[in-house]
């Protein structure tokens, strides 16, 4: 199988707290995979582990042909994996322009970075109007757009987006999803998106994982889970997940 990302039996601990246990998942080239789960489920931890931000205590993570466990985030980023973390983490004292260019410094060929920069500003016209603003003064939605654009400047094959809808008006969230899916169509980007709720996800995702208490409770195709019943019980923990269809191995 040509999986772009494989997470195999990953455990992550913060001191005594086990944030992820026995987490396995895979993402194929070109897929849109969504991970949903309640507060504290371990969604952000999972993305951070993939991006090299936290080192799993046990388990393997492969991106392409590379085992990325124990590899520093900047090296993982150079493999073509980019994370838009929860809370966006815009460099608020840098200008919008500088925030964007940071993402392009990975590439030695300056001409490429320049072309990416122009292309992204086409996609995000609101950023173009504010290029010389300190990024900290952008609205939440604009910051989220900047965070996505900045991550795409690194030319990822896989883009991880942690709760893009956090704290944003539904209209803005729709715009951001539109752009993410547009990027996937145009550039063959593979997407993994974390969300707390499934309503938008069911429309856009190819496959869904439900994470709760650090474990994968449910895995399935979005089309098969469309009625939302299985997701609800996995999400809230009603009944035993083992009795549900499509339980992860």
Partner 1 sequence: MIAFLQNLIDAVSLGSIYALTALGIGLLFGILRLINFAHGDYITIGAYALIVPSADVTARLMIGELPLVVMTPLICLIVVVVALLSDVLVFRPLRRASSPTLMIASFAVSYIIQNGVMMFYGARPKAVDLWSGANTQILIGDLRVPMLQLIILVVTLVLMAALTLFLRKTPYGIQMRAAAEDFRMATYLGVRGNLVIGLAFAISGILAAAVSLLYTTQSGSLSHTMGLPLALFAFVAVVVGGMGSLVGAVVGGFAIGIIVTMLQAYLPPELRAFRDAFAFAFVILVLLVRPAGLVPSRTTFERV
Ligand X SMILES: Nc1ncnc2c1ncn2[C@@H]1O[C@H](COP(=O)(O)OP(=O)(O)OP(=O)(O)O)[C@@H](O)[C@H]1O
Which residue of 33, 45, 63, 82 would you call a contact of ligand X, by CB under 6 A?
A: 45
Q: Select from 37-45, 58-66, 118-126, 128-136 the region that touches ligand X (CB under 6 A).
A: 37-45
Cα–Cα distance, 84 to 107 (Å, whole number): 19
Cα–Cα distance, 32 to 193 (Å, whole number): 8
Q: Could you tell me if 79 and 63 are in contact, meaning their C-beta atoms sit under 8 angstroms apart?
A: yes
Which residue of 12, 35, 44, 160 would you call a contact of Mg ion, by CB under 5 A?
A: 44
Is 194 near partner 1 (CB under 8 A)? no
Partner in contact with 17, chosen from partner 1, ligand X, Mg ion, none, beta carbon below 5 to 8 Å by kind: ligand X
Query: Closest distance between ligand X and the C-beta of residue 46, in Å?
Result: 7
Range 63-66 contact pairs with CB under 8 angstroms and sequence separation of 24 or more: 63/4, 63/5, 63/158, 64/4, 64/157
Which pair of tokens denotes residue 192? Answer: 């993994």
Cα–Cα distance, 223 to 136 (Å, whole number): 39
Is 25 near ligand X (CB under 6 A)? no
Q: Could you tell me if 39 and 197 are in contact, meaning their C-beta atoms sit under 8 angstroms apart?
A: no
Partner in contact with 218, chosen from ligand X, partner 1, Mg ion, none, beta carbon below 5 to 8 Å by kind: none
Which pair of tokens denotes residue 167? Answer: 């704290």
Is 183 near partner 1 (CB under 8 A)? no
Which residue of 43, 130, 150, 207 would you call a contact of partner 1, by CB under 8 A?
A: 150
Pick between residue 90 and residue 208 the one whose CB is nearest to partner 1: 90
Is 22 near ligand X (CB under 6 A)? no
Can you name the residues that pair with 17 across neighbouring β-strands?
A: 14
Site string for ligand X, 196-225 (x = CB under 6 A): x-----------------------------
Cα–Cα distance, 41 to 23 (Å, whole number): 12
Q: Select from 1-9, 47-55, 173-181, 198-206 the region that touches partner 1 (CB under 8 A).
A: 47-55
**In the complex, which residues of this chain contact Mg ion (CB under 5 A)?**
43-44, 86
């Amino acid at each position: 199988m040509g999986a772009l990302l494989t997470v195999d039996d990953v455990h992550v601990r913060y001191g005594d707290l086990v944030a992820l246990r026995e987490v396995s998942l895979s993402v194929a080239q070109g897929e849109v995979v969504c991970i949903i789960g309640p507060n504290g489920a371990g969604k952000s931890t999972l993305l951070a582990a993939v991006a090299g931000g936290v080192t799993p205590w046990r388990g393997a993570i492969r991106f392409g042909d590379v085992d990325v466990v124990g590899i520093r985030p900047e090296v993982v980023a150079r493999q073509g994996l980019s994370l838009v973390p929860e809370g966006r983490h815009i460099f608020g004292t840098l200008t919008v322009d500088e925030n964007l260019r940071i993402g392009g410094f990975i590439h030695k060929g300056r001409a490429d970075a320049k072309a990416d920069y122009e292309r992204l500003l086409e996609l995000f016209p609101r950023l173009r109007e504010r290029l010389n603003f300190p990024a900290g003064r952008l609205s939440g939605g604009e910051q989220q757009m900047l965070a996505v654009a900045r991550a795409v400047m690194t030319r990822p094959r896989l883009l991880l987006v942690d709760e893009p809808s956090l704290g944003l008006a539904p209209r803005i969230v729709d715009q951001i999803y539109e752009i993410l899916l547009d990027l996937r169509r145009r550039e063959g980007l593979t997407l993994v998106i974390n969300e707390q709720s499934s309503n938008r996800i069911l429309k856009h995702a190819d496959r869904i994982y439900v994470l709760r208490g650090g474990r994968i409770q449910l895995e399935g195709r979005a089309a098969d889970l469309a009625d939302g019943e299985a997701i609800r019980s996995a999400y809230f923990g009603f009944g035993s997940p083992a009795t549900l269809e499509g339980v992860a191995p």
